[in-house]
Amino acid sequence: MSYTVLIPARLASSRLPDKPLADIAGLPMVVRVARQAARSQAARVVVAADSERIVQACESHGVACVLTRPDHPSGSDRLAEACALLGLPDDHLVVNVQGDEPLIEPTLIDGVAQWLSRHPEASMSTAAHPIDALQDYLSPHVVKVVTDAHGLALYFSRAPIPCARDALGQAWWSADPALRPLRHIGIYGYRVSFLRTFPTLPQAPLEQIESLEQLRALWHGHRIGVHLSPQAPGPGVDTPEDLERVRALLGRPAG
């Protein structure tokens, strides 16, 4: 199996300006993400940037980077352009690692790639882990996924799914931990041919209702495989508070 990790990096962020360049223990965050991803079995790791400043930061630390258009409506559009710039063939596998995940586990990246490599019936792959806390199960900020017997996604939702009819609002899985609901992890594997097709698909009504882009693939009949991880990934960085938390975990705050 050979695959490429692509890391979309966009300079604009409403909650954390210049997020990809935020210092984490002496390195820009996007560089830290790329170095973590390089510990996986990926053949190469490339940042897909929307700014020359990100390109310069990557190049100064030996990280491969391509400059993409700044006006892409979504990360998948940016990745599709990156595939074209890199000349990747249609049957090549790509894993999309978010640029704000400096603590991502390399084995998680490999698991997503391996799932897609072994299942030609799927156009995409992603990941999930079992939910422990009732508040996570009930929270609309935690995306849940249910799968079929073959590990293919049936549905993604912000609602608590699956829903136990006779135990509404309760941790119904406590009697059998093997039945725990699954929290979706935002990492995706693609075949390049589908990644080029995906941005051309019309938005789906369910995608708009739930604000979940992956529902577009399901709506149009594509299958998404779900790699099961035994544990939650490390914290990502969306806010200044998240940034301080990750800085503490990795050794020191910015000077």
Distance CA 182, CA 129 (A): 5
Per the CB < 8 A criterion, the answer to whether 91 and 196 are in contact is no
Q: Hey, CA dihedral for 122, 233, 204, 7, is it positive or negative?
A: negative
User: pTM of the entire structure?
Assistant: 0.92
Terminal CA-CA length for the chain: 42
pLDDT tens digits, one per residue of 224-236: 999 999 888 888 8
pLDDT of residue 252 exceeding 70, the answer is no
Closest of 80, 93, 135, 119 to residue 222, by C-alpha: 119
Is 79 strand, coil or helix?
helix
Per the CB < 8 A criterion, the answer to whether 227 and 115 are in contact is yes
Of 3.90.550.10, 3.40.50.10470, 3.40.190.10, 3.40.50.11540, which CATH number belongs to 3-129+148-154+182-249? Answer: 3.90.550.10
Q: Outline where DSSP puts E strands in 50-151.
A: 64-67, 93-96, 124-130, 144-147
Considering the chain, what is the average pLDDT of its residues?
92
Distance CA 105, CA 150 (A): 24
Distance CA 24, CA 30 (A): 10
pLDDT of residue 42 exceeding 90, the answer is yes
Helix H segments across 87-142? 106-118, 134-138
For range 109-128, the mean pLDDT: 97
Q: For the chain, what percent of residues have pLDDT higher than 90?
A: 78
For the chain, which residues make up each domain, given as ranges?
3-129+148-154+182-249
pLDDT of residue 127 exceeding 80, the answer is yes
Residue 13 pLDDT grade (very low, low, confident, very high; cuts 50, 70, 90): confident
